[in-house]
Structure 1
Amino acid sequence: MSLDLQNAQLLSVTVIFALFACAELVMGHFFPSTASAEDNRLDVAVGVTFPVISGTVFATSKMLCAWLFPDMRDAWANWPWWQMVLVLLLADDLTQYWWHRLSHTSVMWPLHRAHHSAAYMSVRVVYRNNAFYYALMPGLWFSGALLYLGFGWVFVGYSVVKLAVIIGAHSAVRWDQWLYRYHALRPVAWVLERTISTPATHFAHHALTQDDGIGHYMGNYGNLLFLWDVLFGTARITRQYPPAYGLKDDQRHGPERWYHQMFFPIFRSRRAETVLGHDKHIPID
């Protein structure tokens, strides 16, 4: 990605993130009382390292393409924008849906549990994952290849829209409440909540329990498009928000250390009942 593209993307995403963060500050939600010292350390560490990891993946993917397919640089640059967006939705967002869904199985859960260990919803949670979760994410590698092929400014526009949706879906602002509150807007809400991720549907994915008819952490996997959940039968839409978030094993034994969550399996936990240890495994509950 050229410097101009990087700057445009970074500036746009920073502004969107800052607007939601400021709104949370005004509402008193940016520093939640349920955040532990380990949460604070993890959120800061992720904020610092995610741009480095994603940038490295993009750069490495483009270098591999240049080595394997030197004659294909910018070969698709003249495609219509809508064709590029369609390819991005399939290569990035659909693959991320399945990556996210796989991450809720016992094999991948240790790389994703950090995203669910927060007992709060906030923009702070957006990128909160194990470092290897992103380093191995297929969508990031495919996106780097598409940048090599010439998707350029279309990728920037797509990524800004996607990140705006994802940031909004995690934010404590709960912007979708306005759509539910007014009868005239309910048809708009009906379409939106089946098309993109919203606070109500994504908060349900972060719920402490899914036994109350609201929580649905074994579903609602979509990032930009919630449509994938609708199509693949993993959607739950209630227009309600769970009363509690986080993980039950953290409630029983206290939070994992931030570096165990972020850098497993390099650093391993010795806590009782952990998936971040050497040989101890617990179900995703």
Structure 2
Amino acid sequence: MDDPLQFQNVLIGSAIAGYGLMEFVSRRYQNTVNASSNDHWLDVLVFISVVAVSQPLAIFTTGWVGQQWFAQWQGVLADWPWWGMVALLLLGDDLTQYWWHRLSHSPLLWPLHRAHHSAQYMSVRMTFRNNFFYYLMMPGLWIAGSLIFLGIGPWVYAFYMGAKLTIILGAHCAWRWDEPLYRVKALHPVMWVVERVISTPATHWAHHALTNKDGIGNYTGNFGNMLFFWDVLFGTAHITRKYPEHIGLMDDRIHGQEHWAHQMFFPVLQSRRADSALRPGGVIYDENNPQTSEPAINQALSSAIKSNS
């Protein structure tokens, strides 16, 4: 295979197919993924927009701007060793994505990231689920495009993206690949290292938990995408080797799901729900200072338990 882009797509496609197959073989998909038509539209359309719009636009635009105004810098990194190029990508892409993700849990940017947490299931199908503008504004895409212009080798980038997305897809997968490995005593030291270096289902499922109050959930941390090491380094890591019982957003359990178009295209399209982060002045649910009554929360949890039983 002579085309690095084609090679990258084969790697990513193989990872999606492999994890998807394991979801079905293990019956985790059939037993845990209760997706609505609203979820289908959001999962599929956001994936298409990332592949067809956001990433190509960032790479094309940074390349065009570079050639117009910074042509003298084109290819200056071409003689760097591959490991140096990978280090730059880890800092320029994965580290900045950690901070972008972390900032996206702030009131200002939460509406652009909320869609990712509105899924009440974990699966490879919802890995890319986010607001359309979340990806357009993601610094890592634009920095990666700039690094490619500066000479990061296309094959290095292809291998990097293939490895990164294999890890990220695995962290979202309904089939929890790390779970059986925790049961093997001889692997405990290995898994101690693994779970502090890369994102695993246990650490990333905790980030998607419905609540932090069970001692497992950590939606206010565990922000790492490929490298969980950033969470360890910056003090946002929570490692339990357990998985939250419920996934999703409490306000959706109480009030019902937001329409997929509002989740994907806010602020162009805005919610009509009174209690919503997807409208100006809307309320962002906080379980430490809830805007809803305890009976409503208990009712929502009761519904969640019934739907998963």
Compute the TM-score of the two structures, normalised by the length of structure 1: 0.96
Q: Could you list the per-position Cα deviations for residues 55-76 of structure 1 after superposition, in whole angstroms to 9, with x for gaps in the alignment?
A: 1111111111212211222221
Letter in 2 for 1:9: Q
1:177 shift after superposition: 1.1
Question: Counterparts of 1:148 and 1:178 in 2: how far apart (Å)?
Answer: 43
The one of 238, 242, 245 aligned to 1:243: 245
Q: Which residue of 2 aligns with 1:179?
A: 181
Letter in 2 for 1:197: S
Q: Percent identity?
A: 52
Question: Counterparts of 2:275 and 2:34 in 1: how far apart (Å)?
Answer: 21
Across the aligned residues of Structure 1 and Structure 2, the Cα RMSD in angstroms comes to: 1.3
Q: Could you list the per-position Cα deviations for residues 7-35 of structure 1 after superposition, in whole angstroms to 9, with x for gaps in the alignment?
A: 11111101111110111122334454532
Q: Which residue of 2 aligns with 1:77?
A: 78
Q: Which residue of 1 aligns with 2:112?
A: 111
- Contact in 1 for aligned 2:33/2:123 (Cα 8 Å): no
Which sits farther off after the overlay, 215-224 or 67-76? 67-76
Q: Which residue of 2 aligns with 1:141?
A: 142
Question: Counterparts of 2:147 and 2:155 in 1: how far apart (Å)?
Answer: 11
- Contact in 2 for aligned 1:112/1:129 (Cα 8 Å): yes
Q: Which residue of 1 aligns with 2:3?
A: 4
Gaps of 5+ in 1: none
- Contact in 2 for aligned 1:106/1:284 (Cα 8 Å): no
Question: Counterparts of 1:62 and 1:239 in 2: how far apart (Å)?
Answer: 43
Q: Could you list the per-position Cα deviations for residues 170-229 of structure 1 after superposition, in whole angstroms to 9, with x for gaps in the alignment?
A: 001111112201000111100000011000000000000000100000000001110110
Compute the TM-score of the two structures, normalised by the length of structure 2: 0.89
The one of 215, 225, 228 aligned to 1:226: 228
Q: Which residue of 1 aligns with 2:155?
A: 153
Letter in 2 for 1:268: Q
Question: Counterparts of 2:200 and 2:140 in 1: how far apart (Å)?
Answer: 21
The number of equivalent residue pairs is 283
- Contact in 2 for aligned 1:75/1:149 (Cα 8 Å): yes
Question: Counterparts of 2:4 and 2:62 in 1: how far apart (Å)?
Answer: 17
Mapping for residues 1-285 of structure 1, pairs under 5 Å: 4-30=3-29, 32-52=32-52, 53-151=54-152, 152-285=154-287
Question: Counterparts of 2:66 and 2:181 in 1: how far apart (Å)?
Answer: 44
